[in-house]
Structures are given as structure tokens and as C-alpha cells.
Amino acid sequence: MALSHTDGEDASHDHLQPLVQSTVRATHSLFSGTSVPITQTDAILSSQRQKISAKYRAEYLSSRVLPRSMQQPTETNPLLLSAPRQTKLLTQNGHSEATVYPLTNVEDEVQKVLDGLAGKQQRAQAKRHKTPTRELVRMAAEANRDDSAPAGQQIVRKRTYEPVRPEWHAPWKLMRVISGHIGWVRALAVEPGNRWFASGSVDRTIKIWDLASGTLRLTLTGHVSPVRGLAVSSRHPYLFSAGEDKQVKCWDLETNKVVRQYHGHLSGVYALALHPTLDVLVTAGRDSVARVWDIRTKQQVHVLAGHRGTIASVVCQDADPQVITGSMDSTVRLWDLAAGKSMATLTHHKKAVRALALHPSDFGFASASSDSIRQWKCPRGDFVQSFDGHSSIVNTMCANNDGVVFSGGDDGTMRFWDWRSAHCFQKAETIVQPGSLDSEAGIFCSTFDRTGFRLITGEADKSIKIWKEDEEATEESHPVDFRPSLGRRRY
């Protein structure tokens, strides 16, 4: 009897053996100081499976079955076809006692949950044993000492910023003063042959001047308000003018008469530009839109709408963006001429954009406002750099092939910049005519001639001034005063 009693006690403690082994391993790993892996036995896995299976069936399985009123198994709804059916056990009174769910796909779902828990534990363990960043940097530095290390695994030190050194340009000086208008000179245009240029004024007249001698050739009258825009066609003997009287006129230079007029603007026209390769004219003004006209048919091709303020300047080029506008709403827009839509809107300026200047050879342009002058790269309008140093309301800008950029201010200040480095190599102020007030020292328009050696400015003292480079200046007599700062950076 004693022997059988002992055998019975051993048999009753057999199911505790796995738990005892697990406890011993956990205690050993806790106090020994070394990590000993603890393997889950079949009993532990079985208990976890039963726990998850019971919780899954009790809480989540019922949500997989739609109510009977919504169950319409069709071929177009595979979720209803694959949903497990529920079986109700009826009592003797006919009421439903319980809902029994079959074991269909339950074991598969439980196995997915167990696999997810195992993967989560593995990721947590890998994260605990992850190599620190400092250790990785040390290992990479040691690898760099080895000349045989691949180039992709070497840490290269970032190259320090090197400012672009500006090119030397001769200073500009006043060459000639032309008088003849009795109002502010607001528009200038040079003929493609570089023999004469035209000027438009507040006195409502357009005057043709000889570029070499500065003598008056012709006076055109027809506008009833100030003339704000001029352009001379390189493809036809036409001169185009726009004014604050909402009129856009086409003048035949062979007969000196108006041959076409383009009607459509709702207010004054402030800017005008000709397309270099197409027979297209672009005008803009106070109605906040730029209108594209067919020169021959006088038809309006596009209405480029999008600005919320007066458009003060517009330029055209033969590659996209073919039309660029600057507005009083402090934005610059690049337009797709074929689609008649805006390609990009540049919102870097904080004040009204009054002037735009295209570079003759570099595929880019500059925009000016009273807070800054910024340089952009076409075709997407990427920002390049800022021209810092002209703290005035900039009314006009122009650029030549030598990389000289001129900006004229409302207070008569003049700045000459290097296009590539944005360095201001000359600061000057215009000289008012004798008998004029000091407040009339304002520059409203400017342009280079076709050679780029002459600069023509229209000013508030009713005069036209022609500037040229100082021929006697050298790099020794006028060295470049270049003092780069850490704030200067070309993007």
C-alpha cells in the first residue's frame, strides 16, 4: 500500500514539472548576471493558444457576422460569402439561448496573433541590442583610415562655403542729357538697328531720338493720357505704345500713323512687351490681368488672370516661361503661353514688385521691389540669390550681356551690380537738371542699347540721360571692393 501511495503522489506532480523548470531558468537568469534563453514549452504555448482563442471567440468573432437583415450573399460581395455562419440553440420556449460559432478559420487567426507577438518580441530584443550611433561613427572613422575602404563607406567632410568672386566692371558716368519732354519720362525702347530710340512721357507724346547725336527726329501724338509702355518690333516696322487711357496702339513707322488699336483693358495699361519670335503682344495694367493679343488680327488670344493687384511689369522670352509678370500684390507669376495658365507663383517678395529684368544670355531673370532684389532661374523659377544694398523703391531694372545689372530708385539712387555674384560695384545718384527740385530726382525707366555699352534712363526731371562706361578706368584705379559675409550665399 505504501508503494502504491508513493507512485500516486509522483503521478500527481508530473504536470508541475514544466513549471518548475521554467521557474528555475528564470531565477538563474535573474541572479547569475548572464543571459540564458528561456524556451517556451508546449504547455505554455498551449495555454497561450487557449487564452487567445477564447478571447478571440468571445470579443471579435461575433463582429465578423452581419445581422440577418443585412446578409445578402452575392457573387459581387465576397465578404458575405466568406463570413462564418452562426448557429442558435433554441430552448424549449423557443427563445434563443446562445450563439455557437464554428471553429472555421479561428485557429488560423489565433496563429497569426501568436506569430505577430513573436515578431514583436524579436524586434524589441534587436532594438535593445542595437549598436549605438557613437559606436557606428567610431567604426566608420576607423574604416576611413584604411585606403582600401570603398568610396561609398567613407565619411566626406562638407565643403566650406566659397563666395563667388565678382568680375571687374568699369564704373559708369554720365555722357549726355536730353531735354524735350514737358512731363515725366515713363517709357523707353531702343530700335533693333540701334540707330534711334523712343521715349513716352506724361505729356502724352512719343518722341523719336537719334541715339548717336541725341537730336529729336519725330514726335507722335495720339494718346490722351500718360504713355506707360513702348516696344519696337524686330519683325515688322511697327512701334507699339500703351497708356493710362486704356488704349494700346500700333504705329506704322513708314507712315507715322496708327494702323491698329487693341481694345479690351478695363483700366490703365502700365506695361507692354513683345514676344521675340511670335507675332504676339502682351499688355498688363490696373485691371490685374495680362492680355495676349494677335498683332495682325487684333484678337485677344488669352487673358492671363491670377494676380490680385495692379501688374506693374511684364517681360517676354522665346522659351518657357514665355511670359513673366510682376504685380503690386508682391508676387511674380510665370505663365505658360500655349495653355494660358500660370506655371508658378513666386511669393518671396514682401512689397510690390515694380520691375523685372531678363538677362540677354543667361536663362534667368531678376525682380525688384522696395524690400529686395532677387535673382531667379528659369524655367521653374528657382531662387538663386539676393541683391542686397538698394534700400529704395526700385522702379526699373535692366541687364546687358556683360553681366551688368542696373537698378534705379524712386529717390534718384542708382546701383550697378554684377549678375553672377550679386555684388554692387558702383553706387551713384542721378543729377537733376538746373532749375529742378531735389525731389524730382527719380528714375522711372531704363534700358541698355543693343550693344550694352550705353545706358538710357528716363527721369522725373523730364529729361533723358545717357550713361557710358569710363574708358580710362582700370582694375588698379578702381579695384573690386569685395567683402563677403557669412550671410551671403548663392543657392
Distance (Å, rounded) from C-alpha 417 to C-alpha 390? 10
Please tell me the predicted confidence (pLDDT) of residue 32.
Answer: 62
Please tell me the predicted confidence (pLDDT) of residue 141.
Answer: 64
Please tell me the predicted confidence (pLDDT) of residue 81.
Answer: 43
DSSP letter for each residue of 288-319: SEEEEEETTT--EEEEEE--SS-EEEEEE-SS
Residue 22: name the closest of 36, 10, 38, 34 by CA. 38
Backbone angles phi, psi at 466, to 5 degrees: -115, 130
Q: What is the CA radius of gyration of the chain?
A: 41
Contact present, 322 and 365 (Cβ < 8 Å): no
Distance (Å, rounded) from C-alpha 90 to C-alpha 122? 47
Torsion angle, alpha carbons of 256, 186, 312, 194, to 10: 60
What is residue 24's three-state secondary structure? helix
Please tell me the predicted confidence (pLDDT) of residue 109.
Answer: 74
Residue 40: name the closest of 149, 143, 121 by CA. 121
Please tell me the predicted confidence (pLDDT) of residue 52.
Answer: 78
* DSSP state letter for 60: I
Distance of CA 304 to the CA centre of its chain: 20
Please tell me the predicted confidence (pLDDT) of residue 84.
Answer: 45
> 104: which 3 cell numbers?
472555421
What is residue 114's three-state secondary structure? helix
**pTM of the predicted model, to two decimals?**
0.68
Backbone angles phi, psi at 165, to 5 degrees: -80, 130
**Low-confidence residues of the chain, pLDDT below 70?**
1-13, 32-45, 61-106, 125-161, 485-491
Q: What is the pLDDT of residues 455-481, one digit of tens each?
A: 999 999 999 999 999 999 999 999 988
Total Cβ atoms within 10 A of residue 386: 19
Residues 6+ apart with CB under 8 A from 388: 372, 373, 422, 488
The amino acid at 1: M
For the beta sheet containing 454-459, the strands, ordered from the edge strand earlier in sequence to the opposite edge, are 172-179, 463-469, 454-459, 443-448
In our burial notation (b when 16+ CB lie closer than 10 A, e otherwise), range 412-426 reads bbbbbbbbbbbbbbb
Distance (Å, rounded) from C-alpha 336 to C-alpha 1? 106
Q: Is the dihedral of CA 21, 25, 28, 30 positive or negative?
A: negative
Q: What is the pLDDT of residues 393-417, one digit of tens each?
A: 999 999 999 999 999 999 999 999 9
